[in-house]
A = this chain, B = another copy of it.
C-alpha cells in the first residue's frame, strides 16, 4: 500500500514543545539529510490571564500556524517526567490545546518522548541539551536559532518526526 504522505513530499511538519507559560513552535520542511527551518517562535502567557484563556491562546496560535503554513503533520513532545502532578496537569493542558487544534484541522499528531527526540537527533537518548542544540543547528544548516530553548526543542521534535517519516517512506518503497 502506498504511503499517502509520499505524494505530499517535501514533508512539512509543525513541531511543538508545549508549555502553559511558554510553548515553542517550529515549521520544518524535509530537505536533504535534515530539514529547512521555515518559521519558529513562541506562544507566551502569564498567570495574570485566566487559565482557559491561556489555553485558548495556544489553541488559536496553533490554528493560525496551521492555516498560514499548511503543515502536513504535527509533532509534539510527550513529557511524563514531572516533579509533581500539578505541573504534569499544566503540561497536559497545553499539549491538549495543541492536539485539539491539530485534530480539528484534520492533521495527524505524532507524539515523541524526550528521549526519542534526543536519540533521533543525536543518536543517543541520554544526550545533554547542549549537544541536542548543536545537532539541531547542523540539521537545519544554521549557526543559531533565536529564542529560548523551547524553540530549539520544537525544531528537534519536528526533525525527529521527519526522520521517522523518511524511514517509513524508505520502507514502503522497498
Interface residues of A (CB under 8 A from B): 50-53, 55-56, 59-60, 74, 80-82, 84-86, 88-97, 99-100, 102-104, 108-109, 111
A82 to B100, CA, bound (A): 23
The interface residues of chain A, by DSSP majority, are classed as helix
Q: How far apart sit A108 and B51, CA to CA, in the bound complex (Å)? A: 10
Contacts of A92 in B (CB 8 A): 88-93, 96
- Count chain B CB atoms within 10 A of each CB in A51, A84, A88, A109 and give the residue with the most: A88
A51 to B109, CA, bound (A): 9
Greatest chain B CB density within 10 A among A56, A94, A95 is at A56
Interface centre among A59, A82, A96, A108 (most CB of B within 10 A): A96
